[in-house]
Amino acid sequence: QVRLVESGGGLVQAGGSLRLSCAASGSIFSINDMGWYRQAPGKQRELVADITRGGSTRYADSVKGRFTISRDNAKNTAYLQMNSLNPEDTAAYYCNALVLLTPRYEYAYWGQGTQVTVSS
């Protein structure tokens, strides 16, 4: 019943910027952690950034200082502002959300991904 939809990916040249959005919809009581992960071909999926409901953030070392995660709890939406992109950022980016369907039931959801390709 809950759906996460990512948007904002695309092709960009090195040094450019993109802003990803992750919108959660459905029967949602609230959302705890939200995060962005990425997976390049042949590589393990890795955490890029995550954010708690209260706004505490965490970043991978490779993106710290360049990416900023944020969220709008009223809209059940998370964002990832990506600046100073380089070809190593090329990957499929996935949104993850820890959703409280009721006050007593928590479930993790994944979006289907959005492709980010950075050309040199």
The per-residue pLDDT string of the chain (120 residues; one tens digit each, 9 = 90 and over) reads 899 999 999 999 999 999 999 999 999 999 999 999 999 999 999 999 999 999 999 999 999 999 999 999 999 999 999 999 999 999 999 999 999 999 999 999 999 999 999 999
Question: Whole-angstrom Cα distance, residue 46 to residue 117?
Answer: 17
Is the Cβ–Cβ distance between 37 and 91 less than 8 Å? Answer: no
Is the Cβ–Cβ distance between 103 and 50 less than 8 Å? Answer: no
Question: Whole-angstrom Cα distance, residue 48 to residue 88?
Answer: 13
Question: Whole-angstrom Cα distance, residue 79 to residue 13?
Answer: 20
Is the Cβ–Cβ distance between 87 and 28 less than 8 Å? Answer: no
